[in-house]
Amino acid sequence: MTTVDTNASAPDGPDDSARNSLVIGLLLVSAFTVILNETIMSVALPRLMSDLGVTASAAQWLTTAFLLTMAVVIPITGFLLQRFHTRPVFLAAMGFFSLGTLICALAPGLPMLIGGRVVQAVGTAMMMPLLMTTVMTLVPPAKRGQTMGNISIVISVAPAIGPTISGIILNYLHWRWMFWIVLPIGLAALLLGALKLVNVTEPRRPKLDLLSVPLSAIGFGGLVYGLSSIGESLAPTHEALVPLWVPLVVGGVVLALFIWRQIVLAPQDRALLDLRTFKIRVFSVSVAMMCLAMMALFGMIILLPLYMQNVLGLSALSSGLLLLPGGLVMGLMAPIVGRLFDRIGARKLVIPGAVLVSGALWTMQSYGMDTPILVVLGGHVVLSIGLALLFTPLFTSSLGSLPPKLYSYGSAVLGTAQQVSGAAGIALFVSIMTIRTGNALASGVDALPATAEGLHAGFLAAAIISLGLIVAGFFVRRPPDMGGPPAHHGGH
């Protein structure tokens, strides 16, 4: 049997349960591998800046380009999941990822390295909506919190331990080994999927709106490129190809056109990204909080290693190991938070989580040249606990509030929002850091205190943004169980 039309509310037989477990398990392991590569470069940035002779603003494109590509490709994946079976989408995802990893391992310089990261990101972008849509299709509502806890391990812990893994590799090996070590894992997942994965969804025949694809790419790309260029534009040797405001304005206008076109096409079932998901308040609030949380997560994944290496003088290995406890805490908490969500709902988890995230970021903005390492470690662990309390409830509430026909679009919207906000967070915080550092150097401050001032400004921006998390937390609800009584809607 190669095609199964599975309904989430239908009871599974023994064979179906075993098949579902195999499918979800393979997707989780594969997704963990590809998501790990979102942040594996962060600790390596100082080494790459030195080896390749590039600035921080240029090197951060290794992560920003990855996130931005995901933001462009994920909306198309929503269409692909409607149009094709599970198995070919999985094989394409792991194929792109493995090819991109090989390109990175062989890259002679920064342009080809960024190109390889873009190819990797195409595969990663296809994997995440595939994982979330499959879980929403196969797992009954009462068990979704626990299963989404496992997804939270993938989406939050893999990026969190990426810097640790890269730090260990960089201490003993050349930076290319970050890719040579991952490549066989990607190829093994590709082979296992080809041999074992079965189809668990029934495709439809939606029409692809070709105009929406470039509108999406130019809109999201212009905004993130504009943000990323702010810091670099202030460097003394910088020669801008276009004025700074051009990509920001063009990106904003084209994104508005993209949104308008999706709204017009949605009633005809022709939208690339069906934005009717935002008519459901639980979904809208959860996505807004997820964006703020991802900005905080990815901003810190970039800023903390720069602070530990460039201000405190730690090695790449030490920086990576200091970030490991937070990543492990997030991983250990995710299944527990998922079970708690199934029992007590979202709000009692996300409000404390938001307070912890904000408190940790406000502490980080006080870090200086003589901050004890234990304080840095403690701040990251508290941040990780707060994020663990946020991710699982937000994933489950957002997608669980949607009718089944919108699962693939909801997964794509959520994934797109995550990646754009992550890329914007990195671009914004690095830009603020670069501006503040440049101003301090221009006023005669020595390099080390100037770098510390720049990082302080980046942490402060993240702390201010985090206040929005606390406000939004009071508006989160657990969605009603599919087919359950409406009374549950606002009860948690």
pLDDT tens digits along 30-46: 888 887 777 777 677 77
Residue by residue, DSSP assigns 437-472 as HHHHHHTT--HHHHHHHHHHHHHHHHHHHHHHHHHH
Cα distance between residue 383 and residue 357, in whole Å: 5
Which tens digits make up the pLDDT trace of 226-258? 776 665 565 555 555 677 788 889 988 999 999
Looking at residue 184, what is its pLDDT?
A: 92
Cα distance between residue 156 and residue 330, in whole Å: 7
List CB contacts of 117: < 8 A, sequence separation 6 or more: 41, 62, 65, 66, 69, 100, 104
Report how far apart, in Å, the C-alpha atoms of 76 and of each of 34, 60, 107, 151, 421 are: 18, 25, 28, 21, 18
Cα distance between residue 402 and residue 398, in whole Å: 7
| For residues 206-216, average pLDDT | 82
Mean pLDDT of the chain: 80
Residue by residue, DSSP assigns 51-114 as HHT--HHHHTHHHHHHHHHHHHHHHHHHHHHHHS-HHHHHHHHHHHHHHHHHHHHH--SHHHHH
Task: Read off the pTM.
Answer: 0.76
Cα distance between residue 304 and residue 316, in whole Å: 11
Looking at residue 9, what is its pLDDT?
A: 38
Instruction: State which amino acid sits at residue 97.
Output: F
Confidence of residue 194 (pLDDT cuts 50, 70, 90): confident
Nearest to 145 by CA among 389, 449, 327, 356: 389
List CB contacts of 311: < 8 A, sequence separation 6 or more: 367, 368, 369, 448, 451, 452, 455
Place of tokens 């020595």: 446
Looking at residue 320, what is its pLDDT?
A: 76
Nearest to 145 by CA among 391, 342, 351: 342
Distance of CA 121 to the CA centre of its chain: 11
Cα distance between residue 467 and residue 146, in whole Å: 28
Cα distance between residue 134 and residue 6, in whole Å: 10
Asked whether 433 and 454 are in contact (CB, 8 A), the reply is: yes
Nearest to 414 by CA among 389, 384, 391, 385: 391
Residue 241: CB atoms within 10 Å? 7
Q: In 107-244, where does DSSP find H-type helix?
A: 110-138, 144-152, 158-172, 177-180, 182-196, 212-233
pLDDT of residue 486 exceeding 70, the answer is: no
Looking at residue 319, what is its pLDDT?
A: 80
**Range of lowest pLDDT (154-168, 246-260, 416-430, 448-462):** 154-168
Nearest to 102 by CA among 91, 90, 113: 113
Cα distance between residue 351 and residue 128, in whole Å: 26
Question: Tokens in use for 231?
Answer: 């810091």
pLDDT of residue 113 exceeding 80, the answer is: yes
* 42 φ/ψ sector (left φ>0, alpha ψ -120 to 50, else beta): alpha
Q: In 311-406, where does DSSP find H-type helix?
A: 316-344, 347-364, 373-400
